[in-house]
Structure 1
Amino acid sequence: MAKFKISKPRAQLLARLEHIIGSNCYNGNIQNYGPGGFYEGSGRDFRYPLTMIDENGEKIKRSSPAATDVSPQILSSGYYAFGANRLQIIHALNEVLEYLEEHKGLKV
């Protein structure tokens, strides 16, 4: 997917929203063993990594902190990789903001 143009303040908001979403992943199949090898139950929360493409076409993976320090152009390429599939999370969040601005009067 092509990068799109966004302002710096909008990019900051999108980066923070992405960080919230990416921090809400859970895998119930992960087995948790604590100190001494004691079983602490199934499942674990984790942060899904955001992948972005820089100016040279190189991948940048970010888990933490929120990608508020990257340029809006690089952030606009942000996606979640699911094997061969991609969820264009930054583009999707921007579409949500556009919908809310157009239909619900949101001011960003």
Structure 2
Amino acid sequence: MARQKMTKKRAELLAELEHVIGSNCYNGNIQNWGPGGAYYGEGRTFRYPLTTVDQDGEKRKSYSPARGLSPEILSTGYYAFGANRLHIITALDEVLRHLEQKHGLKL
């Protein structure tokens, strides 16, 4: 079954959902030091960068919400884990499709 072209509305929702997920990374090994050498404890949450690929094959990393990207460029979005990739936008789109088909979600 051929996939439908992604609408702008769906792309905006996917960008919002990706930002929620990407903003929930945590590294317990990061040491937190504040002004004047104050120790704030171990561990820190951080925003994992979303990598997208434009029409020319140029890769761009983004730490802010991926708003304003065309659906075509947004659909290339992934998280790079060394040699591995998590195609987060594709995965989130599959989750939405599952919810639409199996649970009656209306978008």
Paired residues in the alignment total 104
CA distance in 2, matches of 1:33, 1:68: 32
For 2:19, the equivalent position in structure 1 comes to: 19
Stretches of 4+ moved more than 6 A in 1? none
CA distance in 2, matches of 1:17, 1:9: 13
- Structure 1 residue 31: Cα displacement: 0.2
For 1:58, the equivalent position in structure 2 comes to: 58
Q: How do 1:1-108 and structure 2 match up within 5 A?
A: 5-64=5-64, 66-108=65-107
How well do the aligned residues superpose, as a CA RMSD in angstroms?
1.0
CA distance in 1, matches of 2:31, 2:67: 33
Match for 1:104: what amino acid? H
Kindly indicate whether structure 1 or structure 2 has the higher relative contact order, using CA contacts under 8 Å at least 6 residues apart.
1
- Structure 1 residue 5: Cα displacement: 3.4
CA distance in 2, matches of 1:5, 1:62: 23
- 8 Å CA contact retained: 1:77, 1:90: yes
- Structure 1 residue 60: Cα displacement: 1.1
- 8 Å CA contact retained: 1:79, 1:88: yes
Among the aligned pairs, what percent are the same residue? Answer: 67
Under a length normalisation based on structure 2, what TM-score does the superposition of the two structures give?
Answer: 0.94
> For each residue in 1:1-34, what CA deviation from the matched residue of structure 2 results, as whole angstroms up to 9, or x when unmatched?
xxx8311110010000000100111100000111
Under a length normalisation based on structure 1, what TM-score does the superposition of the two structures give?
Answer: 0.93
